[in-house]
Amino acid sequence: MSRPILIYIDADACPVKAEIYKVAERHGLKTFVVANSFMQVPRDPMIERVIVPGGMNVADDWIAERAVEGDIVVTSDVPLADRAIKAGADVIAPNGRPFTEASIGMALATRNLMEDLRSAGAITGGPKPFSPRDRSAFLSALDLAIVRLKRRGFGIATA
């Protein structure tokens, strides 16, 4: 049997956890919900809550140390996305935007520029509000990633 597809959720600020649970259940995929505080998750042997210690990037490090080719990482954190892509994982932002080898360089540059502007005192505004269209785009991107990985020979986890 091929290696199972695993889903890793950078869960602290993820607005699509419920959607991920449904899609993962439909496809029989093991899901790790990684956060630095207690988070309610469904009682399901295929969904594992991982509580990491508080601290800068601890959840990101936990995910980055485990994600490999054939896995899916859901995060809006650009440096984590970069690390996961380098490890071969598929990475999707909660708004459905895939992070790829081709797009991650620009995403990192934009993130760093905005961080520099904020530290210099510029008012940059935050991300736009999460919309139903974002949720729909995410579901499409997640399904597409799973189908693509299955076609490449990755399989289903067992509880």
- DSSP secondary structure, 85-97, as one string: HHTT-EEE-TTSP
Query: CB neighbours of 140 closer than 8 A, spacing ≥ 6?
Result: 96
Q: In the prediction, which pLDDT does 111 show?
A: 61
Give me the mean pLDDT over the 15-32 stretch: 95
Give the least confident one: 14-23, 28-37, 122-131.
122-131
Q: In the prediction, which pLDDT does 113 show?
A: 63
- 47-50, long-range: CB within 8 Å, 24+ apart, which pairs? 47/21
Q: What is the pLDDT of residues 61-87, one digit of tens each?
A: 999 999 999 999 999 888 999 999 999
Residue 122 three-state SS? coil
Q: What is the pLDDT of residues 124-135, one digit of tens each?
A: 666 678 889 999
Query: CB neighbours of 25 closer than 8 A, spacing ≥ 6?
Result: 44, 46
Percentage above 90 pLDDT, the chain: 67
Q: In the prediction, which pLDDT does 129 show?
A: 80
Q: In the prediction, which pLDDT does 124 show?
A: 61
The pLDDT of residue 1 is above 50: no
Percentage above 70 pLDDT, the chain: 84
Q: Place 2 in a pLDDT band, splitting at 50, 70 and 90.
A: confident
Within 4-150, strands assigned E span 6-10, 30-35, 47-51, 72-74, 90-92, 98-99
Average pLDDT of the chain is 88
Q: In the prediction, which pLDDT does 104 show?
A: 72
**CATH code for the structural domain at 6-151:** 3.40.50
